Chains A and B, each alone.
Chain A
Amino acid sequence: MMKRDYPGLVLLALSDMAILVALIMVFAYAPREATMGDVQRIFYFHVASAWVGFFAFFVTFIAGIGYLARRTRRWDIWALSSEEIGLTFITMAVLTGSLWARKAWGTFWTWEPRLTITAVQLLVYIAYGMLRTAIVEPERKARFAAVYGCVAFVTVPLSWFAIRWWRTIHPDIMAGGDMAVTPRMAHTLFVSLGAFTLLYFALLRQRMRFEWAADTLARLREQIEGDD
């Protein structure tokens, strides 16, 4: 029986509370945006999901470099666990963004630079999982995934700068633009970013524990096969 992970449970509880606070702020503290109305409230969790997705892929990138330098399982576990969470959060950002776009642009999807790069990014990181499944030998799998995770990270700065380098209709909240971000909106956004980051670490910890358990199981199987 595995030991109860009390720090992990505390982290999970803290992130749940932070998400709850963020939700309350989204619906009760942040003002109603003048042009878009209530649908603008999607913005807080949409940006936070995209942030966690980018951050998770950055961790996969760093862990990939770590693996190539050290060749230890720990780095590979960091990389694959973070990638899985990043993929979920980027999917969340795409889906919630398309609902926002329906109101803002009159369509769920348009092939403008930011959205196109995000679609490519989604496919690239889905392929990361497929690559891992396709390779059986563990060391080879980890090495290939590390290189792939580093190359795939190119999509993150590309996506980030897409709205600055090319003509695009995607809003740039850093530069102000169409939507006026009031102080209350900014507070709500920062609390949402913090809450999602906490949730990321809580999920990452659980996902990594799963991989360690999988390794334990593999060792037990080897031991039993060796005995036979």
Chain B
Amino acid sequence: MTEMSLYLIIAYAVFWGLTFVLVLSMWVRQGRLEREIQALSALLEERSR
């Protein structure tokens, strides 16, 4: 592999890597929030009964 194509591969890996990290962080945080919302909603429902 030439030095030039190595730079090209790294550059596109940077793009995919950072996009993946951004999407993954959103997905994980969203999932955590949804679980908390579900738990609190269930608690409120239980209290209202």
Interface centre among B8, B21, B26, B36 (most CB of A within 10 A): B8
Given contacts A37-B4, A210-B26, A217 and B36 within 8 Å (CB-CB): yes
A191 to chain B, nearest CB (A): 15
Interface hit among A85-93, A115-123, A166-174: A85-93
A: interface residue count bin: 35 or more
Tell me whether A41 and B23 are in contact (CB under 8 A).
Answer: no
- Tell me the number of A-to-B contacts counted with CB atoms below 8 Å: 83
Q: Which of B11, B29, B37 contacts A96 (CB 8 A)?
A: B11
Residues on B with beta carbons closer than 8 Å to the beta carbon of A42 = 7-8, 11-12
B33 to chain A, nearest CB (A): 5
Tell me whether A217 and B40 are in contact (CB under 8 A).
Answer: yes
Interface residues of A in 176-228 (CB under 8 A from B): 199, 203, 206-207, 209-210, 213-214, 216-217, 220-221, 223-224, 227
Residue of A nearest to B21 (CB): A88
B25 to chain A, nearest CB (A): 9
Tell me whether A220 and B37 are in contact (CB under 8 A).
Answer: yes
Interface string of B1-40 (1 = CB under 8 A from A): 0001101101110110011011100100110011011101
B: interface residue count bin: 20 to 34
CA distance A102 to B6 in the complex (A): 12
Tell me whether B26 and A39 are in contact (CB under 8 A).
Answer: no
CA distance A203 to B25 in the complex (A): 12
Tell me whether A49 and B40 are in contact (CB under 8 A).
Answer: no
B8 to chain A, nearest CB (A): 5
Tell me whether B18 and A91 are in contact (CB under 8 A).
Answer: yes
Asked if A1 is an interface residue, CB under 8 A from chain B, the answer is: yes
Asked if A100 is an interface residue, CB under 8 A from chain B, the answer is: yes
Residue of B nearest to A84 (CB): B22
Tell me whether B14 and A213 are in contact (CB under 8 A).
Answer: no
Given contacts A42-B7, A203-B22, A210-B30, A95 and B36 within 8 Å (CB-CB): no
Asked if A139 is an interface residue, CB under 8 A from chain B, the answer is: no
Tell me whether B40 and A220 are in contact (CB under 8 A).
Answer: yes
Residues on B with beta carbons closer than 8 Å to the beta carbon of A49 = 15
Shortest 9 CB-CB distances between A and B: which pairs? A220-B40, A42-B11, A96-B11, A39-B4, A99-B7, A213-B33, A99-B11, A95-B14, A88-B22
